[in-house]
């Protein structure tokens, strides 16, 4: 049984990854700072599992990270911890630099120091996996980008993720640390904090609030269900070559406005008192945010070939099940909306 240290394991993608690893009979230690989007509720059903341990703390805390790695000697470190929301990075970029760059530096230094102390067999099997994003490549004009495309980040968020990816690559090239990096596309599904487009618009629509669409709504995102994202990460961990990066995408590129209209249609079919037209009427176009990328698109042929992985969740099905989850799980999101977050969009946003 291999020991996995998963940072950010109480978040949206992290908690789904943790549950999958445990179901695969792996041992998991979660390190999470429990900032606004990391929630113990995401891991509640794992209480009592002898193969699971939760530690509250930040990846920027070098003493804590060193103690954890030295004590548990993980076979795998998967870094999912990150500040992730572009709008928040516009308002508070300093937090993104601390977690996404300095925190990754702390993890790499600690991993390297302890990796050298492992036996040869354990060193050979060790992996440091960095979970990254398609946003590092910037706006894609035509076609799809491969893993070797140049980094062109356009927001403080994507710039810090690009920086951490480069650090990960450097620790492999300079020190030989066995690393793998994944670039995931726009991920959606249950337990996503309601600042991201889909959960935000689902909950605002259910509350009768406006649906503020940036610009003219024609920005294109590649939508990937969280289950597919997690299966891609695990395959990259198990089959990926050290020093390599792998794109984890769906091939489903849709304009934001089209996704929002699909969302309204689904809400209309599930509502007893409102129609899809009622929800459509909530759509309001607002000033675009600064540095807003027009289009993302990943070439996943390398992952299909080397990882023997492919996405399986159809977007129509995934979107419908996600909407239903939020409708059914009010006890999960109501404490958020009644507490520190009132479903407001962040960054620069003024109605036209």
pLDDT of residue 346: 61
**Residue-averaged pLDDT of the chain:** 95
Q: How many CB atoms lie within 10 A of CB 186?
A: 24
Domains detected in the chain? 3-186+226-251+293-313 (3.40.50.720)
pTM of the predicted model as reported, rounded to 2 decimal places = 0.95
pLDDT of residue 351: 42
Cβ(182)–Cβ(172) below 8 Å: no
Catalytic entry in 83, 87, 135, 165 = 135
CA neighbor of 9 nearest in space, from 198, 321, 49: 49
Does the pLDDT value for residue 349 go beyond 60?
Answer: no
The verdict on whether 157 is a catalytic residue reads: yes
The verdict on whether 338 is a catalytic residue reads: no
Distance separating alpha carbons of residues 245 and 179, to the nearest angstrom: 9
Phi and psi at residue 158, in whole multiples of 5°? -65, -30
Summarize pLDDT for 293-302 with one digit per residue, the tens: 999 999 999 9
The verdict on whether 151 is a catalytic residue reads: no
Summarize pLDDT for 83-115 with one digit per residue, the tens: 998 988 998 999 999 999 999 999 999 999 999
Catalytic entry in 32, 83, 147, 157 = 157
Name the 3-class secondary structure at 102: helix
pLDDT of residue 269: 96
Catalytic entry in 26, 32, 83, 134 = 134
């Amino acid at each position: 049984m291999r020991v996995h240290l998963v940072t950010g394991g109480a978040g949206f993608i992290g908690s789904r990854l943790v549950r999958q690893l445990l179901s695969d009979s792996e041992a998991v230690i979660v390190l999470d700072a429990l900032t606004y989007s990391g929630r113990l509720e995401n891991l509640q059903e794992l209480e009592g599992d002898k193969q699971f341990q939760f530690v509250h703390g930040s990846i920027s805390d070098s003493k804590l990270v060193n103690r954890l790695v030295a004590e548990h000697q993980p076979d795998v470190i998967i870094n999912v911890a990150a500040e992730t929301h572009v709008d928040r990075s516009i308002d508070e970029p300093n937090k993104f630099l601390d977690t996404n760059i300095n925190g990754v530096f702390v993890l790499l230094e600690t991993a390297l120091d302890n990796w050298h102390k492992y036996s040869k067999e354990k060193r050979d099997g060790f992996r440091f996996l960095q979970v990254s994003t398609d946003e590092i490549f910037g706006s894609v004009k035509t076609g799809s980008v491969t893993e070797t495309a140049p980094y062109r980040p356009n927001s403080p968020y994507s710039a810090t993720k690009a920086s951490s990816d480069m650090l990960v690559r450097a620790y492999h090239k300079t020190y030989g640390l066995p690393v793998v990096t994944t670039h995931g596309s726009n991920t959606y599904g249950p337990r996503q904090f309601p600042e991201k487009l889909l959960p935000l618009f689902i909950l605002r629509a259910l509350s009768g609030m406006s649906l503020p669409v940036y610009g003219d709504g024609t920005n294109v995102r590649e939508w990937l269900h969280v289950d597919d994202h997690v299966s891609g990460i695990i395959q990259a961990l198990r089959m990926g070559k050290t020093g390599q990066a792998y794109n984890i995408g769906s091939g489903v590129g849709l304009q934001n406005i089209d996704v929002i209209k699909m969302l309204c249609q689904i809400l209309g079919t599930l509502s007893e008192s409102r129609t899809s037209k009622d929800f459509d009427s909530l759509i309001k176009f607002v000033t675009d945010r600064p540095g807003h990328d027009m289009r993302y698109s990943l070439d996943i042929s390398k992952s299909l070939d080397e990882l023997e992985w492919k996405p399986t969740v159809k977007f129509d099905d995934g979107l419908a099940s996600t909407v239903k989850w939020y409708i059914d799980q009010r006890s999960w999101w109501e404490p958020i909306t009644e507490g520190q977050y009132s479903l407001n969009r962040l960054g620069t946003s003024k109605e036209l």
